[in-house]
Structure 1
Amino acid sequence: MTLTILTSIAPTALFYQLAQAVFREVPVNPDSDQATDWLINELSKPSYQAAKPTLFDRISKAFSDWLGSLTIGGSNAIPTVALVILIALIVIAIIAAIIVYGLPRLNRKSRSDDILFGESDRRTAAQLREAAEKAAARDDYESAIADMFRAIARGLSERTLITMTPGTTAHGFALRAGHALPECAAEFATSADTFDLVRYMRKPASREQYEELRSLELRVRAARPILAEAAL
């Protein structure tokens, strides 16, 4: 029986001795350098890295802290965040109004440019010229002359060589155009007479009158203006 007890105790004693030897090899009181290494190794594990705040988190917190640091008035003042939101809403409303309605000055200029010899006409010079050619093709020379004269005026206005206002008459245009293109001054005056006779006095229009206007329009498009005189 004594032999049996010794046999059962021997492995336990051997395990205890081995455990003591192992623990004696592991330092339980590391120095500062070793403790730092252990801490760095521990924090480098994926579980710690995943818990670190992202760049967005840090920026958001910094912005939130900055807003919280602002103070306006005393203890009963409007909260800073609410004030910032209110200002942002006002700015957004102003931008939306500009997008929908445009700048007032630009709108006024656009409405003024739509008026051509007392009538609302938003067509470009090319569109007016095309309309005149189509009218001439069907022998409607009254419309052809009116649209070709408007095409000349709109073309010079688009090139910013003259300024057209709602009250500009045909002869007023001819005078301004003559300053910009002196070599065509006489033709401008004649074309203004033709426009008034056909458009307002209801005189019969002819193909010859239309061809004269068409020839003038071609010359005006190819001409080089004298800007100094046009500014007078």
Structure 2
Amino acid sequence: MRKAARLFEIIQILRLSRHAVTAAEIAERLEVTPRSIYRDIVALQAMRVPIEGERGLGYILRPGFDLPPLMFSVEETEAIVLGLALLDRTGDRSLKTAARTVNDKISAAVPEPLRRSLQAPVLKAWGSVAATPATLDLAAVRGAIRDEQSLDLTYRDAGDRQTERRVRPIALIYYSDTMNLVGWCELRSAIRNFRVDRVIVCSLAPTFFRGEGDMLRRRWMDGWVDGSGMRDS
């Protein structure tokens, strides 16, 4: 996590907490060392963010400090509620956790009437829930897409044939019952779809394709017309 994003997350954690939060607790949530959090707290205090406390006892955010308000209409708020509920139907465990965090952050920032809309169980997403893949970490796959880093897959196709693939991942498609990884397959020299429930092993490869992701995605979308962008592996 970049420092700017981490500073924002620290403020959000303190805003949402009802008691003092220790550096160790913050560090565990953000997956960094307590020493990094101590340095971040000093940096925030130097920026006049009213954080009070000390090492070992914990930190609080003095009342009155707030980030710029988020202003949503009622329908925009309902769109957020339903979108977050739909994320909870996927098998992407880290996105489901993130959806709940987003709901908490928005609830803390919007006026009371909209907060009630976010928290009231009025809109529900129903239907089957996609299973969480046992053989690959979807958060790592999304990270590889962002970083334009290749993946090494051991893959079993629809004919039960097992192959080793090096793939340049460019997108994830979330269906109601499964997910597909889209990427440039070096074995097939073409864009292919890989069902995540057929992935036997997935690991980060030591190669990158930086600067090619947007081009590959355009090629994939152009392939929708002739069907080449929808082919399974």
The answer to whether the superposition gives a TM-score over 0.5 is no
Compute the TM-score of the two structures, normalised by the length of structure 2.
0.24
- Please state which structure has a larger fraction of its residues in helix: 1
- Please state which structure has a larger fraction of its residues in strand: 2
Q: Which has the larger radius of gyration?
A: 1
